[in-house]
Chain A
Amino acid sequence: MSTKTRSQKEIVDGLLAKDRATLGYLFDQYGGALLGVARRIVGTKESAEEVLQDAFLKIWKNIEKFDSERGRLFTWMLQITRNEAIDKRRSRISKEDEKTSSLDLHVYKLEEKDFEEMKIGDIGLRNVIAGLEDDAQEILNLIYFKGYTHKDVADQTGMPLGTVKTKLRRAILELRKVLDPT
């Protein structure tokens, strides 16, 4: 992409002005990352692309609701995408057998093929995730990658909600060592 990196303010202003090129820029910058998020939650790329379409439409329509004071634009888009994906998975599961929802929570240690599947190419990042304690890795996988809520995970694993929260925090702090080494 030859386009120069725009600041969050430029992007938000563009979206508020209903400038479609800005939405195109947003897609070029973050579409792939958000598609990854959606795909890990809904399973197939096809469903994930439907989710991403709906999410971008929501971003376009609801930009007035985004509060720059409180957060990063990407986080807001991540939440929208995540919620769309979770809704899609729930509506699919409710259509199918309810049992599959708990089967999805099957716990296993992440391996090479899972990282491939998750599109995590960064070897350093893979190593940090692989090096997490088993339950921290599991919680990161279920909550961040698979899109289960803290409450889902607490209910399904029997861990107290507070423990789930702190373990996810520990996992993200570990990741920060490679992602944001300051």
Chain B
Amino acid sequence: MNIQEYIESGILEAYVLGDLTQAGIDEVEEMMEKHPEIMEEVTRISKSLEDLSMSSVEEPSPLLKAGILRRIEDEEAGQTPEPKEEGKNQKILTIAVTILGLLLSGGILMYCLAHAQSSKHEIEQAAILADSLQGEIDTLNQELNQVQQELQIALDPNFTKVPLEGLPISPNAMAAVYWNQSSNDVYLEASGLPIPAPDRQYQLWAIKAGQPVSIGVFDYSSDPTLFKMENIDDAQAFAITLEPFGGVLNPTLDQMYVLGNVPS
């Protein structure tokens, strides 16, 4: 291909527009170095496209230039701004932009402060939440310990389970005593009892030598819970009565809810 054909192929226009691959660019640049005519033609094409661009100008927004210079300034913080060579209008514009910038910065500062306030508030809220979560974890840990302990008791062969059955006053009521006959420890599970009136409390009795012996009052819980009651030996049976708050010395027999004999 001779030089004129090369020029006429249109490859130089593609080169000037940046439409060639790297291999194409390298080739054209090699040709440019070898042949001044090609270099000259590239310059003419560039000039034509430049003229064409200059004939189709879009007016930039007044703040665009300042915006670009500002971005450069931001990226190269440390250098001093110096629009000295610029005209008066430019100076006024620069001042206006600076004021606008200050106002904006002020706005941003206010926003940040407000945001910081609300962040502080959020941190406090988070701390409160963390506290309450920690409380819940503690509670759950306690409950877990208790359940594990209860499970151990329920599974411990030294404990005798004494089921207490509902009496005519409340036939569906039920409870269970876990009694260790060697250590005399007594645990009670009584979630199957009716909910008592607020001024009343359930009281557990052991029947020993035919006589009722109080082994403690307990707060009703609808969740299955083992209450540690007072120790007792030689019990024949256990019973629960509903009594005035704090319990009584002698059981109110017509308020007996459940009763169970110790299996022999």
Contact = CB atoms under 8 A, between A and B. Distances in A.
B83 A168 contact: no
A28 B17 CA distance: 22
B182 interface: no
Contacts, number: 163
Contact of A32 (B17, B59, B68, B83): B59
A20 B69 contact: yes
27 contacts: A3-B87, A18-B76, A20-B72, A20-B83, A32-B57, A33-B50, A33-B56, A33-B57, A35-B59, A37-B53, A37-B56, A45-B61, A48-B58, A52-B60, A57-B75, A75-B46, A78-B17, A79-B17, A83-B18, A150-B14, A164-B10, A166-B10, A168-B10, A169-B12, A179-B51, A179-B52, A180-B48
Interface in B26-55: 29, 32, 42-55
B68 A122 contact: no
A165 interface: yes
B116 to A, nearest CB: 31
B83 A24 contact: yes
Nearest to B66: A24
Contact of A78 (B49, B75, B84): B49
- B interface, how many residues as a size bin? 35 or more
Contact of A166 (B8, B50, B72, B87): B8
Size range of the interface on A? 35 or more
A119 interface: yes
A62 interface: no
B57 A36 contact: yes
A31 B72 CA distance: 16
